[in-house]
Amino acid sequence: MTPKFLGQSSALPASPEEAELDYVPNPRLGSLYLTRFAVPEFTSLCPVTGQPDFAHLVIDYAPGETIVESKSLKLFLGAFRNHAAFHEDCTVGIGQRLAEEMKPIWLRIGGYWYPRGGIPIDVFWQTGEPPKGLWVPAQDVPGYRGRG
């Protein structure tokens, strides 16, 4: 299976719905391991004001038969730049789409959002309990503290 986007010129999709995630065979099928994507500069738009929202996302998953190809994931996440949605919708929607399409053994996403209206909103979602024996490091994204 050849990756669709890797090594190709690829435009940013107009929306997350139009973005195509690409999956390739798990190179260590049968091994229980965790893959982490840290996305410290995720952006979307507030659905009420249209102002930009910023988050640090951490996506952890234990691959099943496939892994997500990272360039396609970057394009998918980049498509949220002009997408208006609440923090909960963005965070949970990303996790659910990856879980539904990739079918990992286990997946979790942490969305650490910067304050909106003076209140930081952090959103967490996972497919269930992690499998026994899987090393799941802490996400280690500190809670928002402002200047303090």
Predicted local confidence at residue 95, as pLDDT: 98
Q: Count CB-CB contacts under 10 A for residue 9.
A: 5
pTM for the predicted model, two decimal places: 0.94
Cα separations in angstroms, 55 against 13, 48, 62, 83, 96: 20, 17, 23, 14, 18
Q: Note whether 138 and 118 are within 8 A (CB).
A: no
Domain that holds residue 42: 23-126
Domain-located, residue 89: yes
Please report, as a single letter, which amino acid is at residue 88: E
Predicted local confidence at residue 148, as pLDDT: 61
Predicted local confidence at residue 117, as pLDDT: 81
Domain-located, residue 11: no
What is the CATH classification number for the domain harbouring 104?
Answer: 3.30.1130.10
Indicate which residues carry an active-site annotation: 46, 53
- How many structural domains comprise the chain? 1
Domain-located, residue 140: no
Predicted local confidence at residue 147, as pLDDT: 64
Domain-located, residue 10: no
Predicted local confidence at residue 1, as pLDDT: 67
Domain-located, residue 59: yes
Cα separations in angstroms, 142 against 9, 33, 109, 145: 36, 25, 15, 8
Distance CA 143, CA 2 (A): 40
Domain-located, residue 145: no
Q: Count CB-CB contacts under 10 A for residue 61.
A: 24
Q: Note whether 50 and 4 are within 8 A (CB).
A: no
Domain-located, residue 66: yes
Domain-located, residue 4: no
Predicted local confidence at residue 32, as pLDDT: 98
Q: Count CB-CB contacts under 10 A for residue 70.
A: 14
Predicted local confidence at residue 65, as pLDDT: 98
Predicted local confidence at residue 7, as pLDDT: 76
Predicted local confidence at residue 143, as pLDDT: 79
Predicted local confidence at residue 8, as pLDDT: 80
Task: Give me the residues of the chain with pLDDT under 50, please.
Answer: none
